[in-house]
Amino acid sequence: MAASLQRIGIVICRTFPVILQRNIQAQRIRDWKTSAPVLRLNFRALSSSSSSSSSADDTDSTEVLSRYSDRPWEYLESEEYIERYGSKPVWSNYRRNHKGGVPPQKTRKTCIRGDKICGNPCPICRDPNIIVHYKNVNLLQQFISPQTGIVHDPIRTGVCMKQQKLLNKAIETARDCGLLFAQLPHVDYSKEDYSNTHGAVAPTPAPFSLSSGELWYPWYGSIKPDERELARVKRIYKDYLKPDV
Amino acid sequence: MATFSFTRCLVRSYFCVKCVDHVQTRLQTTASRSSKYSKSQFTDTEVQDILTKITGLDLKKVFQPIRQQLTPPKYKLMTDTELEEAVRKAEEQAKHLLKMPPVLPERKPVNDVLSEDQMLEGMGTAKYVFTDINFNVPHRERFIVVREPSGTLRKATWNERDRIIQVYFPKEGRKITPPPIFKEENLRVVFEQDRHEDVLNQCVVQFEPDSAEFKNVMEIDVHGKYDLLRSTRFFGGLAWHLVNGRRIDGLLVDMLQSDLMQDAVRLVRLFNLVHPQSESAQHAQRQQATDLDLLKIYAQYESNRAGFIELAVQTYEQTKALSSF
């Protein structure tokens, strides 16, 4: 009797926390699903989806997709955005949970793994309508300092590292396309020579070839040999000279 | 043997210099033969003088705070003389910052084949690029050659040269492939936001001043928003381009509307310098006209908006007469 009770107690003690954790997570996922329409396409692609789940996805994905996935910049003018954030940046009311006064110098790697979202997700992951896109200039501006033009550190804004990387890429593309301001260095033109006459960039001049009668060195013709030296050389090599010389 | 090769090199270089000189003199003679009057070039001192004066020197716009790492501000106590000295130094710095990007003739394409080796054909599928990476060689004298899979060894084209030099000697702000801002759609968007200066800065950083892409971007029409570029380094180039295309009416009207009489006069004088065969230039030379008469002559003979220009000149004369009383 006591042994069986003990065994039941052990089983309950072992299974209760697991059930509790599963319940908590299910509740969190339910909350996340009901709070706003969810962008599930990315997560489905990431997780290994079997054929059965994909057929269920097709019916799900049409309603589960965020309304602003095609034009993410429209969300920043919508009423729900203004109600939720007002005129402040998206990351203003976010607070990280960490031990001690100094936060870890890197935020978490990612908030969303597969289907699961962590507790206290970062400002971008907690609102599925906020999509990091290079045309979403108003959102990107919130993550750039207006005075220095430097992208804010993730420790300041609280975004996870994956979203920070996406942000960096989007800001770079926006600057390349001219949608965001990019500070460029001043170019000095005084020192360079633009004549383009050097052989590296101009056609190579044709090789010098002698025309008939022309001598290799111009002074060849003007020097007269010494008569005695000439006679001596001719006498020495008289067997080898041509008959007319 | 060494002395022989050395002297041969000297002779060769002498002949090369002679060839170059000959070519240059030939070019000059053809140029002078084509125009009866001497046409002013961009680099003439008079032209540069006029262009710098037109550009103006608005210190507040030139020294606009740029986006960089901020430092706490420094406060200095100065006497009047020191203040004047500081302002003079600032003006010199501004002049240096407002130096115009040069207007050069378009660079000729490089189509030189150094050797053709048939036996190297089919060795591989990729081209090999050989670059001279000595540090003390100017980029325009750097040898960059390409061995094609067909075996020909040729000098690299200008585009290839720019890319390879950017790989080995990267310049700040320049990308290896031109950024998408220079495509049509993006340019339109940026011009709608009135950010011509940013595009021109990007162009100046990315391209060499004698390349075709540089010229294409710099020749984009400003459509009447001359104020945006007024105190930047691009105003001179813009004015030069408009004068060459004989389209200075818009700019003249803009200047007259903002009461810049002297600038308008200078612009007309520049026009006469660049187009000495035009009617207004010939009339001006005959009558030795100065200041407002130049404007009137130009309005009479060349301009499309003659009425507006004459009206503006008249109002200016009236206000001057009134103020002198």
> What confidence tens digit (pLDDT) does each residue in A7-27 have?
776 766 676 666 656 655 555
Q: How confident is the model at residue A223 (pLDDT cuts 50, 70, 90)?
A: confident
What DSSP state is assigned to residue A239? T
8 Å CB contact of A178 and B186: yes
Q: Which residues of A205-238 are buried (b: 16+ CB within 10 A; e: fewer)?
A: eeeeeeeeeeeeeeeeeeeeeeeeeeeeeeeeee
Chain B residue numbers with beta carbons less than 8 Å from the beta carbon of A150 are 69
Token digits of residue A61: 């994905």
∠ CA A173-A176-A180, nearest 5°, is 85
What is the dihedral sign for C-alpha B78, B82, B86, B87? Answer: positive
User: Which pLDDT score is estimated for A49?
Assistant: 42
pTM for the whole structure? 0.71
Q: Give the residue with greater pLDDT, A187 vs B160.
A: B160
User: Which pLDDT score is estimated for A242?
Assistant: 87
Q: Give the residue with greater pLDDT, B84 vs B61.
A: B84
DSSP string across A54-81: HHHHHHHHHHHS-TTSS-GGGGGGSHHH
What is the dihedral sign for C-alpha A26, A30, A31, A37? Answer: positive
Considering only CB atoms, B209 lies closest to which of A147, A179, A189, namely: A189
* Residue A153 near chain B (CB below 8 Å): no
Cα–Cα dist A51/A53, whole Å = 6
For the segment A163-189, the average pLDDT, to the nearest whole number, is: 90
What DSSP state is assigned to residue A144? B
Does residue B110 contact residue B158 with C-beta atoms inside 8 Å? yes
Token digits of residue B209: 């001043």
User: Which pLDDT score is estimated for B168?
Assistant: 95
* CB contacts < 8 A (A, B): 96
Nearest chain B alpha carbon to A207: B12
For the segment A163-191, the average pLDDT, to the nearest whole number, is: 89
Considering only CB atoms, B186 lies closest to which of A148, A177, A189, namely: A177
Q: Give the residue with greater pLDDT, B65 vs B77.
A: B77
- What are the strands, taking DSSP E only, across A55-178? 112-113, 116-117
Q: Give the residue with greater pLDDT, B257 vs A39.
A: B257
Q: Give the residue with greater pLDDT, A203 vs A133.
A: A133
* Residue A209 near chain B (CB below 8 Å): no
User: Which pLDDT score is estimated for B9?
Assistant: 42
User: Which pLDDT score is estimated for B31?
Assistant: 38
Does residue A126 contact residue A155 with C-beta atoms inside 8 Å? no
pLDDT digits (tens, 9 = 90+) for B12-29: 444 444 444 443 444 343
* Residue B161 near chain A (CB below 8 Å): yes
Nearest chain B alpha carbon to A195: B140
Considering only CB atoms, B209 lies closest to which of A184, A194, A199, namely: A194
Query: Does B174 score more than 50 pLDDT?
Result: yes
Lowest mean pLDDT among A37-51, A58-72, A75-89: A37-51
Token digits of residue A230: 């000439």
User: Which pLDDT score is estimated for A13?
Assistant: 64
Mean pLDDT comparison of A29-33, B87-91, B193-197, B228-232, highest-scoring range? B87-91
Cα–Cα dist B312/A17, whole Å = 88
Q: Three-class SS of residue B153?
A: strand
Token digits of residue B211: 């390349």
Chain centroid offset of residue B324 CA: 41
Structure-token match 């030795």, residue found: B288
Query: Does B250 score more than 70 pLDDT?
Result: yes
For the segment A99-108, the average pLDDT, to the nearest whole number, is: 94
Token digits of residue B53: 């004066």
Does residue A171 contact residue A151 with C-beta atoms inside 8 Å? yes
Chain B residue numbers with beta carbons less than 8 Å from the beta carbon of A217 are 7, 11
Chain B residue numbers with beta carbons less than 8 Å from the beta carbon of A190 are 99
Lowest mean pLDDT among A19-23, A39-43, B85-89: A39-43
Q: Measured between CA atoms, how close is B249 to chain A, in angstroms?
A: 30
Q: Three-class SS of residue B146?
A: strand
Cα–Cα dist B291/A67, whole Å = 64
User: Which pLDDT score is estimated for A210?
Assistant: 77
User: Which pLDDT score is estimated for A46?
Assistant: 41
**The length of chain B, given as a count of residues:** 325
Cα–Cα dist B167/B175, whole Å = 9
Q: How confident is the model at residue A43 (pLDDT cuts 50, 70, 90)?
A: very low
Other CB atoms within 10 Å distance of the CB of residue B162: 20
Helical pair B45-55 and B261-274, crossing angle rounded to 10 deg: 150
Cα–Cα dist B14/A241, whole Å = 37
Question: What number is the ipTM of this complex?
Answer: 0.76
Q: Give the residue with greater pLDDT, B133 vs A23.
A: B133
Percent helix, strand and coil across chain B, each to the nearest 5:
60, 5, 35
Cα–Cα dist A173/A157, whole Å = 21
What is the dihedral sign for C-alpha B63, B64, B69, B71? Answer: positive
Does residue A32 contact residue A129 with C-beta atoms inside 8 Å? no
User: Which pLDDT score is estimated for A205?
Assistant: 80
Lowest mean pLDDT among A181-190, B35-44, B175-184, B262-271: B35-44
8 Å CB contact of A194 and B210: yes
Cα–Cα dist B38/B277, whole Å = 10
Q: What percent of chain B has pLDDT over 70?
A: 86
Q: Measured between CA atoms, how close is A74 to chain B, in angstroms?
A: 18
For the segment B258-280, the average pLDDT, to the nearest whole number, is: 82
Token digits of residue A206: 């044709």
User: Which pLDDT score is estimated for A17?
Assistant: 61
Nearest chain B alpha carbon to A200: B143
Q: Which residues of B182-213 are buried (b: 16+ CB within 10 A; e: fewer)?
A: beeebbeebbeeebbebbbbbbbbbbbbbbee
Chain B residue numbers with beta carbons less than 8 Å from the beta carbon of A144 are none
Nearest chain A alpha carbon to B162: A201
The set of residues, in sequence order, having a beta carbon less than 8 Å from that of B306 and lying 6+ positions away, is: B299, B300
The set of residues, in sequence order, having a beta carbon less than 8 Å from that of A100 and lying 6+ positions away, is: none
* Residue A239 near chain B (CB below 8 Å): no
∠ CA B270-B271-B273, nearest 5°, is 65
Nearest chain B alpha carbon to A202: B110
Q: How confident is the model at residue A207 (pLDDT cuts 50, 70, 90)?
A: confident
Which ranges in B112-211 belong to alpha helices (H)? Answer: 158-168, 184-192, 196-206
User: Which pLDDT score is estimated for A48?
Assistant: 43
8 Å CB contact of B67 and A197: no
Q: Measured between CA atoms, how close is B303 to chain A, in angstroms?
A: 35
Cα–Cα dist B284/B90, whole Å = 38
Per-chain mean pLDDT for chain B: 79
Nearest chain A alpha carbon to B205: A187
Per-chain mean pLDDT for chain A: 80
Does residue B271 contact residue B243 with C-beta atoms inside 8 Å? yes
Which of the residues A137, A147, A186, A216 would you substitute to probe the B interface, choosing the one with the greatest number of B C-beta atoms within 10 Å?
A186
Chain B residue numbers with beta carbons less than 8 Å from the beta carbon of A189 are 99, 101-102, 209
Query: Does A130 score more than 70 pLDDT?
Result: yes
User: Which pLDDT score is estimated for B295?
Assistant: 78
Q: Give the residue with greater pLDDT, A3 vs A161.
A: A161
